[in-house]
Amino acid sequence: MSEPLAVGTVLVPVDGSDESVTAVEYAVAIAEKYDASVHVVYILGEEVVRAIESGSVDDDAVAAETDAFVERTAEIAEESGVEANTSTAYGFSPTQKTRHPGSAVLDCAESVEADFLVIPREPTTDGPGELLERAAEYVLLYASQPVLST
């Protein structure tokens, strides 16, 4: 007989897409069921990272946009009485060849000691969802935690 699943932290990577909001809703439902917390990590894609590195985009504008989205996800958790923590990670590095959106997710999962991952996989539109679609493939292959791909 196997041990029941113990979940203390549910990690959900987001990228500002509608699919990310859906993934947060699933993560909050799982956290509710297991009396766990949710950690939302906003993954910055290649285009944004390159713009930040080159100085062609205002860092404050990027921070304000990600903060607004992360605040929206925290409200979803709060409405359900689930504790939510947040962070931001680069899903791309112009100097580190092994930096991939999926590796950023798994690094964050290790850092926050996540027991369960919820990640969007099937974007319905072109745009930022593509970032997490690529990350999901990687996470599904290499995660040591249970993964729900939405």
Domains (range + CATH), the chain: 9-149 (3.40.50.620)
pLDDT at 145 exceeding the cut of 70: yes
How far apart (Å, rounded) are the C-alpha atoms in residues 27 and 33?
Answer: 10
How far apart (Å, rounded) are the C-alpha atoms in residues 51 and 129?
Answer: 18
Q: What is the pLDDT of residue 83?
A: 97
Taking a C-beta distance cutoff of 8 angstroms, is the pair 39, 114 a contact? Answer: yes
Q: Which two tokens stand for residue 56?
A: 């062609």
Among 21-35, 49-63, 114-128, the range scoring the smallest mean pLDDT is: 114-128
With a threshold of 0.85, does the pTM exceed it?
Answer: yes
Residues 65-107 pLDDT 10s: 999 999 999 999 999 999 999 999 988 876 666 678 899 999 9
Residues 49-65 pLDDT 10s: 888 888 888 888 888 99
Nearest alpha carbon to residue 135 among 109, 96, 105, 93: 105
What single-letter amino acid sits at 78? E
Give me the phi and psi of 126, to 5 degrees please: -75, 155
